Structure 1
């Protein structure tokens, strides 16, 4: 499945509400952000705290164009927490950090407007 970054692209195929409920999207706070020079595409290694129910997870995020590494710790982000871990080079990414493409196609992180408890689920 290919996801389009084109804002004019038509919507994806229709799914049932039960399919949406299978995707567990939670908010967490970035604890640390480190360069990931070994990645094929520019990326940052994130350590994200999702609260007591999920705990601390690792993620590799291609967010280098819009998000200076020093601005990330303390920031809340949304992530899919129930995909299987994915090997990115020598790094195991445990969650998929979510974002949208800006006008140039670079990723902008997706997060709540105000602070919410870590581990809160999107509904």
Structure 2
């Protein structure tokens, strides 16, 4: 995927279209190396609370984050995309981030303690 740095704004959508994308806050329970990935990445196990549950994700965030600093961190993710096979793991959610100046991923941050499983609005 090419980072969308300086890309033009997308076409307008209806609010109902936005609501189709289920973005939730989750807490990283475990971050592990993912040496089988084509590009440097981590395997994340994220708790989204009792409604969504615990899900796995692959995230190309090795440039800015160590495994230790990811444990317990709150992240935002799309939880209603179909699962996607990434090497030997099934990535069940899309962990969200923005590109830095070099196109490397910077995680979307939650700056206060939010309820795990809470939906973005």
Q: 1 CA distance for matches of 2:3 and 2:59? A: 17
| SS of aligned partner of 2:118 | coil
Task: Give the one of 18, 21, 33 matched to 2:19.
Answer: 21
TM-score by length of 1: 0.94
In the alignment, which residue of structure 2 is the partner of 1:5? 4
8 A contact 1:27–1:111 mirrored in 2: no
Structure 1: state its 5+ residue gaps. none
2:102 is the counterpart of 1:101:
no
Q: Does structure 1 conserve the Cα–Cα contact (< 8 Å) formed by 2:27 and 2:73?
A: yes
- Deviation (angstroms), 1:85: 0.4
Q: Structure 2: any 5+ residue segments left out of the alignment?
A: none
User: 1:1-123 maps to which residues of 2 (within 5 A)?
Assistant: 4-6=3-5, 8-123=6-121
Per-residue deviation, 1:103: 1.5
Measure how far apart 1:4 and its partner are: 4.4
Cα distance in 2 for partners of 1:111, 1:52 equals: 22
Give the ranges of 4+ consecutive aligned residues of structure 1 lying more than 6 Å apart after TM superposition: none
Total equivalences in the alignment? 121
The answer to whether the 8 Å contact 2:43/2:58 transfers is yes
Normalising by structure 2, report the TM-score. Answer: 0.95
- CA–CA distance in structure 2, aligned partners of residues 43 and 35 of structure 1: 7
